[in-house]
Structure 1
Amino acid sequence: MTQVFVLCTGRCGSKTFTRAAEHMTNFTAKHESRTHLLGTNRFAYPDNHIEVDNRLAWWTGKLDASFGDTPFYVHLTRDRDAVIQSYVARKNYGLVKAYRDTMLCNLVLRKPKTDITAIAEDLVDTITSNITYFLRDKTKVMQMQVETMQQDFPKFWDWIGAKGDLDAAMAEWSVRHNATE
């Protein structure tokens, strides 16, 4: 039984990571595949599976209770400022909107208004802190950066014992999946 969990802030190549991993023949790979489920069903991932889901950073307690130190864990990152700017560009959509409107109780509506860049910075720093804290005692952890994926992904491939078409997987990194307009 092998699971791989890719933890990230979002806006950092997670969709592309999934597309690249889909070229493995001995693992399945999905992006945010169980986000619609609750309780134990949320964490009922199959064997030999790679799950890429930025929301897992909010459920690290349940992730640890379900899997502990058994899986491989990847912390996928991208240049912090690039991630922040991507969230700023999506200020009225998705995670940054949810964070602003619910977690931070509508900070944009308050007087004086809180700048969306400051909100995106706080979001990215909070998620990164959650991931770093969660991974502190895990023994199978790989740090990967979207900017160095040409070197990092083949190392990851070998690390987990992947089989399949590595060349096709690497070609995915030249395609922008789920890019912010």
Structure 2
Amino acid sequence: MRVFVLCTGRSGSLSFVNACKHIRNFTTSHESLADVFGNERFNFPNNHIEVDNRLSWSLGHLNKYFGDDAIYIHLKRDRDKTANSFFQRFYLPGSIIDAFCDGVRMNPVEKLSKKMRLKACYDYVDTVNTNIEYFLLDKSKKMTINLETIEQDFPKFLEFINADIDLEKGIEELRKSHNSSFQRKLNLDYRVKLTIIREWRHLKMYFSKKS
């Protein structure tokens, strides 16, 4: 049995992963195949719990490969808190809210006012949650867990998947803060390097078409 935890991100997913790592009869990973292309993106082992907010953009493939055979968990957090948490994630390397604005909504972050950036965060949260909700409509093995009531919901989740766990250790993980929006790193060298590589490759493609 495979368990997929779907969410927007910024919803306690890392705390949830760390709690699930105390489950003895399931393996657990966080975004373990998020950087993989093709069919291998969905090569998850059996008896495994995968927590990955980016799977919300691959729901068609999830349905194709696993359909109603898997268990699906919708991990949610208060809409305002989620949007405001994403608001703190702009301009970070690999930021999904940047990618959403730049690529999906075709509004480069640098052109957006503070008000528009916050509006984009709400749009992202609503888009992802709606995608997940519609995906789950015809699924028979599903459950919603809310971050605000996670200490009550987590034991129900464990019973739902028939997990073997030290519950006290799992709950202890849920009480810890992980991956705070305010724990920013400059990563200046990395960011400059990526910018140079991107612009160099853009120039190469531009001039190759000219020749």
Q: Could you tell me the TM-score, scaled by structure 2's length?
A: 0.82
Letter in 2 for 1:72: I
CA distance in 1, matches of 2:112, 2:29: 42
Aligned residue for 2:69, secondary structure, equals coil
Matches for 1:25-174 after TM superposition, within 5 Å? 25-93=24-92, 94-110=95-111, 115-174=116-175
- Would the alpha carbon gap of residues 161 and 92 (structure 1) be closer, same or farther in structure 2, given more than 3 Å must change? same
Contact map agreement 1:107 1:113 (CA 8 A) in 2? no
Aligned residue for 1:123, secondary structure, equals helix
1:11 equivalent to 2:10? Answer yes
Render the CA deviation track for 1:90-141: whole Å, top value 9, x for unaligned. 1222111111111111254558887101110111111011101100100001
Letter in 1 for 2:35: H
Please name the residue that 2:21 is paired with. 22
Letter in 1 for 2:120: I
Letter in 2 for 1:11: R
CA distance in 2, matches of 1:114, 1:174: 32
- Would the alpha carbon gap of residues 15 and 111 (structure 1) be closer, same or farther in structure 2, given more than 3 Å must change? closer
Contact map agreement 2:98 2:109 (CA 8 A) in 1? no
Aligned residue for 2:84, secondary structure, equals helix
CA distance in 2, matches of 1:109, 1:5: 34
Task: Tell me the percent identity.
Answer: 44
CA distance in 2, matches of 1:112, 1:149: 34
Q: What root-mean-square deviation, in Å, do the aligned CA atoms of Structure 1 and Structure 2 show?
A: 1.5
Q: Could you tell me the TM-score, scaled by structure 1's length?
A: 0.95
Letter in 2 for 1:66: Y
CA distance in 2, matches of 1:112, 1:5: 35
Aligned residue for 1:179, secondary structure, equals coil
CA distance in 2, matches of 1:91, 1:174: 26
- Would the alpha carbon gap of residues 23 and 99 (structure 1) be closer, same or farther in structure 2, given more than 3 Å must change? same
Query: Structure 1 or 2: larger helix share?
Result: 2
Contact map agreement 1:7 1:57 (CA 8 A) in 2? yes
Letter in 2 for 1:37: V
Aligned residue for 1:180, secondary structure, equals coil
Please name the residue that 1:175 is paired with. 176
Aligned residue for 1:46, secondary structure, equals coil
Could you tell me which runs of 5 or more consecutive residues in structure 1 were left unpaired when the two chains were aligned.
none
Answer 1 or 2: higher relative contact order, Cα 8 Å, separation at least 6: 1
Aligned residues: 180
The Cα shift of 1:164 comes to 2.1
